[in-house]
A and B are shown apart, each in its own frame.
Chain A
Amino acid sequence: MSQDFRLDTVGLINRDKKLSFKFNGKNYFGYEGDTLASALLANGVHLIGRSFKYHRPRGFFGAGVDEPYAIVQLYRNNETEPNVKTTEQELFEGLEATSVNCWPSVNFDIGAINNLLKVFLPAGFYYKTFMWPKSFWYKVYEPFIRKAAGLGVASIKHDKERYEHKYEYCDLLIAGSGPSGLASAYAAAKNGARVILAEDKPRFGGTLLTSEVNIGNQTGKEWAENIIAELKEMPNVTVKNRSQVFGYYDHNMVVMSEKISDHLPKTKKHHPKQRLWYIRAKEVLISSGSIERPLVFGNNDTPGVMLSSAAKEYLKVYGVLVGKKPLIFTNNDSGYETAIEFKKNGVEPIILDTRKEPNSEIIDEAKNLGIQIKFSYVVVAAKGYKKVNAAEIAKISDNKNDLGVLENIICDCICVSGFWTPTIHLASQSGNKTKFDKEIDAFVPGISKQNETTLGAANGKFTLAETLKDSFDAGYELSKKITKNDNKVSYPIVVEKNKTTHDKFWCVPLPKGKNYKRFLDFQNDVAVSDIEIALKEGYRSIEHVKRYTTLGMATDQGKTSNLNGLQLVSDMENKIVPEVGHTTFRPPYTPVTIGAIVGREVGKHSRPTRKSPINSWHEKNNAVFVDAGVWLRPRYYKQGNETLFEGSKREAKNVRVNVGVCDVTTLGKIDIKGPDAAELLNRVYTNAWLKLPVGKARYGVMLREDGIVMDDGTTTRISENHYHMTTTTAQAANVLSHLEYYLQLVWPELNVNVVSTTEQWAGAAIAGPKSRDLLQNLFPNIDASNEGLPFMGYLEGELFGVHARIFRISFSGELAYEVNVESDNGNFMWKKIMEIGKEFKIQPYGTEALSTLRIEMGHVAGSELDGRTIPYDNGLEGMISKNKDFIGKRSLNKKAFVAEDRQKVVGVVPLDKKTSIPEGSHLVRDVNAQLPNPKLGYISASCWSVEHDNPFSLAILKDGKNMIGQKLFVMSPLKNITIPVEIVSSHYVDPKGERVRS
C-alpha cells in the first residue's frame, strides 16, 4: 500500500509510526502526527460528504478550525461522535469515520436530486413552501425535512467518559501560539507574570510552522520550538496545546476547552476526555491569527477547491500534496507562497492573479522559479462533479465587470486566496467595538471594553516584524503593570519577504448564459443567488439576511463566509461594508461538547447528596430511599415483597395503633439568639410571639411581603433570649436568607443573631398512642405526664448519658414527641428508641407514611403551601394576629384575597371509596360541560386513609368553605380518568385535635 500524495521527507509527521484507520468501511493508513484530513488526502480521498441542502459532493476546504464541510461521524472506543472536523481530529490507531448527510452512500446519494431541483430551493424556500396547509407541518413536512437534512447522529448511549472543570487565575491569558502569542508570552513571562498560553492545535507555532521566515538567525519553526521549550520550563507559565479558548465573558472570564484524550484510541485510566477551564485573567491577549478568505466563483464547492493556506499547511506540516496539477487563484501575494512550495517539491503550479501588474519580492521569486503566472485572470468555474478535473478561466477587464473568452485548463485542485480575515471573535465577544479597516477590507478590534489586547494578524497586522514588535511590547508593558518588574527582552532580527497590496475583488461575475452556483457558505449551501433573492424580497438588516438565507449559521459559524456575504450585500446595496455592519459574534467560537460543559456534575453528582446521621441504619433496615429536596430520606422500610402502598399503609397504621419513629433530621433548624429575638419572631410570623414562655413551643406561619405563605414550622423558646426555629425541609435555606435579609437590611436595629443548625441536630419523631410510655422509658428522670410535658411543651433530658431536647409537637396528629440530640449521637439515639420501643411494637416509618398521616388529619404542608396560597386558603386564617403588624400583612386585604368565594383547602373522598385520586387532578362540577371545562380546584395531595381505609385527598377548591357535602368530579386528562367524589372537611381524622393533647 502506498500513498500517492505523500512526499518522502517534508513535514512534521512521524513516518516511523504507521496508523491504520477506516473511512466509510475502507482501510487506509496514515502516520502519527496526521489529522484525519491529511491522512485521507495523502490517500487521494477528496470526497468526504454531501452538502446540507443540495447534497452536493463535499471535500476539504481548510486545514483547521475554519473547515466548513469536511466533517464526519467519528467512532472511537465503542462510542460515536457527530460532526467531527476531519481537519482537527488527530489520527489514532483504529480510528473509524463515516460520511454524514448522505444516504445510501457518499458516492451515490439520493438527496442529490435536490441539486437538480436547486432552482426550486432558493433562500427562504422552507419558510415559503411548507407553510400550508398548517396541519401538514408536523405530520408531513417536518419529518421529511428532518430526514433529508441534518448532519451527524448523536449517540443515545450513556457517555462513560469523564469530563472535568478547572478554575484558574492568571495575570495574562494568551489565546494562540503563533508569532504574536509566543512573543507576548515570552516577554511577559520573562517579566515575572503568571502566564497561560493556549493553542488549539497539537503543535505550537501557528503560521511559523509553514512560513519561510527567519527570526534571530533561526527559521521561524526553530525559533518557535526554542521559545516554547523555554516557556515550558518556567514555573510561572502554563502552556496548553489542544486547548481552544472559545468564550470571552464578563469581567475577563475566558473559557477554554482542553481536549486531553480525543487524539488517543482510548482515554487513559483516571484521565478525563476533556477539561473545561474557567480562567479569570487580569489581562487577555488575543493572538488568534487570521483565516484566509475564499474567492467566489462558479461551482467553487467542488471537492478539490480549497484555501491556498490549507494546501500549504498540508504540504509543509503533513507532507501531503492536495493535487499534482494545482491551479492557484489569488488576489494577493499569499497564493504565491503556496505555489512556490509546490514548485520546490516538483509540482508545476499555475497562478491566476486577479491583479494587473503587481510587484513584490515574492512575485519575483515565483517568476525566477519559472512558475507560470497569468495576471488579470480569474477562475470562472470549477469543472468536475466529485473532484475538480479542470477549470474554466478567463481574462477579466480592469473594472472587473467583463470576462474575456472562456478557456479550459486542466487541473486537479484549485487553491484560492482572497486575502486574510482577522479572527476577531474573542475580541468582539469581550465587548470590543470593532471597526472596519479599509486597508485590509476586514473588521479589526477597536476600542476595548475589558482588559483585552488583540495582537498580530488578529489585529490586522500581516507582517512578521510588526507583529513581533507589537507583541513583545504588549507582553512587556502589560506584565510590568501587573508585576511592577522591569525586565525587558530584546527584539530578534526578522527576515521576511515584502508583499504588495491585495486586489479588492472576491466574486467572479457569471459569464453570459451560465448560471453556475457560486457558494458563500459551503456547509449551509448559501449561494450568491440566495443573497440576491433576500435583498430583492426586502431584507436589509444583515442580521435578517443571515437568518433568512442561513448564511454563517452552520456548525462552522461562517468563519469563511461572513465577510464575503457582507461584501456582497454591500456591493448590491451600493454601501460600504462598515455601513452594513457584521452580525454578532457569540461564544462558543468552536463547538464545545455537552460533556465538557456539564463536567463532573452528572448522575448522582449533579448535586450533593445529603444524608442524615442515621442513614446507615436505614440502609441496613431495607429502607427504600427518595430524594426529598436536597436530602435522601427513607420512603418506607420494605418488609418481604411489600409494595410502597402496602408498606406505607402498614407503617402509618402502626403509628395510629402503637408507636412509630421517623427520622426528621432533615427539617430546617435555625438557632435564634439575642435580646430582640422575640420581636423578630413577632414580625416574621403572622401570630403573636412576645408572650411565649420559656420551655414552650408555638406553631407559626410566615408570609412573603405579597401575602403568600412562605413557610410554617414550630419555634421553641429554649431560654430567655434563645429560640430554636424549625422550617420545612424544602424551605430551610430560603427562610434563613429571608431572616438575614430583614436583620441586615430592613431592621438592623434588632439585636439578634441567626444561624443554621440543621446539620447540628439529629431528630426523631416518636408518634402514636404509646409514645408517652416509650418516652418515659427513654427518659426515666423526666415527668412525661400530660401535666409534666403538655402539648407544645419542651424539656431537656439525658438519653442514657446523652444530652437531648424533647419537644412535644406533632405532625401526624397523634400524641407525639420530637427528640433531638447532637448529630454525632443520632445513630445512638435511634438505636435506643428502637431497642426500648420493642415492647411497644415500634416500627420506623418513612416519608410516605408521614404524608399519609398528615394528609388524613388535614395538616397543610409543601403541596398546599406551594407559593400560590394565602393563610386563608390553607385554613390558617386563625393564625393571623389582628393586634400587630408583620411581614406581608398589608397584602392580605387585597380584593381577591378577601373574596367571598375565595379558594380553601377541603377533603375529597371518592364516592366508591375505592378509586385512588391522582395528585394534580382537576375538580369540576359537570363532566360533560363544554371545553374548556371550568376548573373549580385541584388535588394537592392524596393518600389512602389508614383510619377510614379508603382513599382521601386534600384539594384547594374555589369557595371551599361552602362546598362541604357537595358532589363533584375529579378529572385527570393526563390519566384519562373521571372520578365522582364528595367534598368533606380537610380534617378527616380527629377533627377536634384531641389526640395530640391527650
Chain B
Amino acid sequence: MLHIKCPHCGMRSQNEFSYGGDATIKRPELNKEISDQDWNNFVYNRKSLRGKHLELWQHLSGCRQWIKVERDTATHEIFKTLKANQDI
C-alpha cells in the first residue's frame, strides 16, 4: 500500500485516496473548435508509461482535494506531491 503525502494533510495511506489518471492532460477550452483527433486524444488516448508519471489523486476520505503526485510507475517511488494549482 502506497504512502502518499497529501500537501494539505500530510502522510496518509493509499486507501484514503482514489486515483485520477494522467495529470498532464489539459481539458480543451469550452466553445473552442477542436479536431476529432485532438478531442479523442483528450478523452481516450493515454500513454502507459514506465517510469516517472505525474498523476492525479483525490484525497477522498480526507480533505477531498485533488492533488498531483509524481510517481514512478515501475518502482512506486513517489518523488513529489503538489496541490491542484501547482505545477512541477
Give the B-binding residues of A (Cβ under 8 A): 167, 249-253, 278, 280, 431, 449, 683, 705-706, 737, 740-741, 744-746, 748, 884-886, 890-891
In the complex, how many angstroms separate the beta carbon of B8 from the nearest chain A beta carbon?
11
Contact with A along B55-88 (1 / 0, CB 8 A): 0101010001110000000011010000011000
A253 touches B3 (CB 8 A): yes
Residues of B within 8 A of A251 (CB): 1-3, 76, 78
Partner of B27, one of A431, A746, A884: A746
> In the complex, A104 Cα to B77 Cα: how many Å?
54
Whether A891 touches B60, Cβ cut-off 8 Å, given contacts A250-B1, A741-B66, A744-B65, is no
Residues of B within 8 A of A449 (CB): 75
A705 touches B43 (CB 8 A): yes
B58 touches A737 (CB 8 A): yes
Residues of A within 8 A of B13 (CB): 167, 280
> In the complex, A857 Cα to B39 Cα: how many Å?
37
A748 touches B85 (CB 8 A): yes
Partner of B64, one of A252, A740, A884, A885: A740
Interchain residue pairs with CB less than 8 A apart (24) = A167-B13, A250-B1, A251-B3, A251-B76, A251-B78, A252-B3, A253-B1, A278-B1, A705-B43, A706-B44, A737-B60, A740-B58, A740-B64, A740-B66, A744-B65, A745-B56, A746-B27, A748-B84, A885-B30, A885-B31, A890-B28, A890-B34, A891-B39, A891-B43
Besides A705-B42, A705-B43, 12 more A-B contacts (Cβ < 8 Å) are A250-B3, A250-B76, A253-B3, A449-B75, A705-B27, A737-B18, A740-B65, A741-B66, A744-B66, A884-B31, A885-B30, A890-B28
In the complex, how many angstroms separate the beta carbon of B31 from the nearest chain A beta carbon?
5
Which residue from chain B places its CB closest to the CB of A431 in the assembled complex? B75
> In the complex, A251 Cα to B13 Cα: how many Å?
10
- The verdict on B51 contacting chain A, using a C-beta distance below 8 Å, is no
Which residue from chain B places its CB closest to the CB of A280 in the assembled complex? B3
Residues of A within 8 A of B1 (CB): 249-251, 253, 278
Residues of A within 8 A of B2 (CB): 250-251
Residues of B within 8 A of A746 (CB): 27
> In the complex, A249 Cα to B76 Cα: how many Å?
10
B65 touches A741 (CB 8 A): no
Contact with A along B23-40 (1 / 0, CB 8 A): 000011011001000010
Task: Identify the interface centre among A167, A250, A280, A706: most chain B CB within 10 Å of its CB.
Answer: A250
Residues of A within 8 A of B20 (CB): 741
Residues of A within 8 A of B44 (CB): 706
Residues of A within 8 A of B27 (CB): 705, 746
In the complex, how many angstroms separate the beta carbon of B35 from the nearest chain A beta carbon?
10
Residues of B within 8 A of A884 (CB): 31
Count contacts on B: residues with CB < 8 A to the other chain. 26
Residues of B within 8 A of A740 (CB): 58, 64-66
Residues of B within 8 A of A890 (CB): 28, 34, 39
Which residue from chain A places its CB closest to the CB of B42 in the assembled complex? A705
Which residue from chain A places its CB closest to the CB of B26 in the assembled complex? A746
In the complex, how many angstroms separate the beta carbon of A592 from the nearest chain B beta carbon?
16
> In the complex, A705 Cα to B26 Cα: how many Å?
13
> In the complex, A706 Cα to B27 Cα: how many Å?
12
B76 touches A741 (CB 8 A): no
Residues of A within 8 A of B65 (CB): 740, 744
Residues of B within 8 A of A706 (CB): 43-44
> In the complex, A746 Cα to B34 Cα: how many Å?
17
> In the complex, A278 Cα to B2 Cα: how many Å?
12
Residues of A within 8 A of B43 (CB): 705-706, 891
> In the complex, A89 Cα to B85 Cα: how many Å?
56
In the complex, how many angstroms separate the beta carbon of A100 from the nearest chain B beta carbon?
34
Which residue from chain B places its CB closest to the CB of A886 in the assembled complex? B30
List 10 A-B pairs, minimum CB-CB distance, nearest first. Answer: A251-B3, A885-B30, A744-B84, A885-B31, A250-B76, A744-B66, A746-B27, A253-B1, A890-B39, A706-B43
Whether A745 touches B76, Cβ cut-off 8 Å, given contacts A278-B1, A706-B43, A885-B31, is no
Task: Identify the interface centre among A167, A250, A741, A890: most chain B CB within 10 Å of its CB.
Answer: A890
In the complex, how many angstroms separate the beta carbon of A743 from the nearest chain B beta carbon?
9
> In the complex, A890 Cα to B37 Cα: how many Å?
12
Which residue from chain A places its CB closest to the CB of B58 in the assembled complex? A737
Residues of A within 8 A of B34 (CB): 890
Residues of B within 8 A of A250 (CB): 1-3, 76
Residues of B within 8 A of A167 (CB): 13
Which residue from chain B places its CB closest to the CB of A707 in the assembled complex? B43
> Which of chain B's residues 11-27 have a Cβ closer than 8 Å to chain A?
13, 18, 20, 27
Residues of B within 8 A of A748 (CB): 84-85
Residues of A within 8 A of B66 (CB): 740-741, 744-745
In the complex, how many angstroms separate the beta carbon of A630 from the nearest chain B beta carbon?
14
Residues of B within 8 A of A885 (CB): 30-31
> In the complex, A167 Cα to B1 Cα: how many Å?
12
In the complex, how many angstroms separate the beta carbon of A196 from the nearest chain B beta carbon?
17
Which residue from chain A places its CB closest to the CB of B65 in the assembled complex? A744
Residues of A within 8 A of B39 (CB): 890-891
> In the complex, A359 Cα to B21 Cα: how many Å?
64
> In the complex, A683 Cα to B29 Cα: how many Å?
11
Residues of B within 8 A of A737 (CB): 18, 58, 60
Residues of A within 8 A of B60 (CB): 737
> In the complex, A55 Cα to B56 Cα: how many Å?
55
In the complex, how many angstroms separate the beta carbon of A483 from the nearest chain B beta carbon?
18
In the complex, how many angstroms separate the beta carbon of B80 from the nearest chain A beta carbon?
15
Which residue from chain B places its CB closest to the CB of A736 in the assembled complex? B64
Residues of A within 8 A of B56 (CB): 745
> In the complex, A740 Cα to B58 Cα: how many Å?
9
> In the complex, A278 Cα to B64 Cα: how many Å?
24
Which residue from chain B places its CB closest to the CB of A894 in the assembled complex? B36
A683 touches B30 (CB 8 A): yes
Task: Identify the interface centre among B3, B27, B30, B58: most chain A CB within 10 Å of its CB.
Answer: B30
Residues of A within 8 A of B75 (CB): 431, 449
> In the complex, A890 Cα to B31 Cα: how many Å?
9
> In the complex, A706 Cα to B43 Cα: how many Å?
6
> In the complex, A449 Cα to B39 Cα: how many Å?
40
Residues of A within 8 A of B30 (CB): 683, 885-886
Which residue from chain A places its CB closest to the CB of B83 in the assembled complex? A744
Residues of B within 8 A of A253 (CB): 1, 3
Which residue from chain B places its CB closest to the CB of A748 in the assembled complex? B85
Which residue from chain B places its CB closest to the CB of A733 in the assembled complex? B60
Whether A741 touches B58, Cβ cut-off 8 Å, given contacts A278-B1, A705-B42, A706-B44, is yes
Residues of A within 8 A of B85 (CB): 744, 748
Which residue from chain A places its CB closest to the CB of B66 in the assembled complex? A744
> In the complex, A891 Cα to B84 Cα: how many Å?
26
Residues of A within 8 A of B76 (CB): 250-251
> In the complex, A41 Cα to B64 Cα: how many Å?
60
> In the complex, A516 Cα to B1 Cα: how many Å?
48
Which residue from chain A places its CB closest to the CB of B33 in the assembled complex? A890
> In the complex, A683 Cα to B18 Cα: how many Å?
24
In the complex, how many angstroms separate the beta carbon of B72 from the nearest chain A beta carbon?
11
In the complex, how many angstroms separate the beta carbon of B68 from the nearest chain A beta carbon?
9
Residues of A within 8 A of B42 (CB): 705
> In the complex, A744 Cα to B44 Cα: how many Å?
21
Residues of A within 8 A of B31 (CB): 884-885
> In the complex, A298 Cα to B70 Cα: how many Å?
56
In the complex, how many angstroms separate the beta carbon of A450 from the nearest chain B beta carbon?
9
Residues of B within 8 A of A744 (CB): 65-66, 84-85
Which residue from chain B places its CB closest to the CB of A683 in the assembled complex? B30
Which residue from chain A places its CB closest to the CB of B3 in the assembled complex? A251
In the complex, how many angstroms separate the beta carbon of A452 from the nearest chain B beta carbon?
14
Residues of A within 8 A of B28 (CB): 890
In the complex, how many angstroms separate the beta carbon of B61 from the nearest chain A beta carbon?
11
> In the complex, A951 Cα to B52 Cα: how many Å?
57
In the complex, how many angstroms separate the beta carbon of B3 from the nearest chain A beta carbon?
4
> In the complex, A737 Cα to B21 Cα: how many Å?
14
